[in-house]
Amino acid sequence: MSNKTFDLKQLPMSLTELLYSIQDEQEIVITNDNIPVARLTLLNPVVETRLSLEKTPQPGLNLGAIVMNDDFDQSLPDEFWLQKP
């Protein structure tokens, strides 16, 4: 594993760029006046996952599974909001 060291006051890149640079099994040490204050490493190896075609959602498989009342978009009565029985 290779190390790269950057001073906190002179970080040449954004956090996103730092995270991409540790994808290649690198470790980044961030220092403040030559005193190490942080170390960025990968927690888990990045594994690219792709769903197979049969596991991807297919539209229209559960038609009619959800039923909605005709008044679903009507305002609720004041008793609901005022917590009156």
pLDDT tens digits for range 28-55? 888 888 899 988 887 766 555 554 555 6
Q: What is the pLDDT of residue 24?
A: 64
Sketch out the chain's domains with CATH numbers. Answer: 2-40 (3.40.1620)
Q: How far apart are the C-alpha atoms of 70 and 66, rounded to whole Å? A: 13
pTM exceeds 0.75, yes or no:
no
Lowest-confidence region among 25-29, 43-47, 75-79: 43-47
End-to-end CA distance of the chain: 67
39-61 b/e (C-beta count within 10 Å ≥ 16 → b): ebeeeeeeeeeeeeeeeeeeeee
Q: What is the pLDDT of residue 68?
A: 87
**Does the structure show a pLDDT above 80 at 74?**
yes
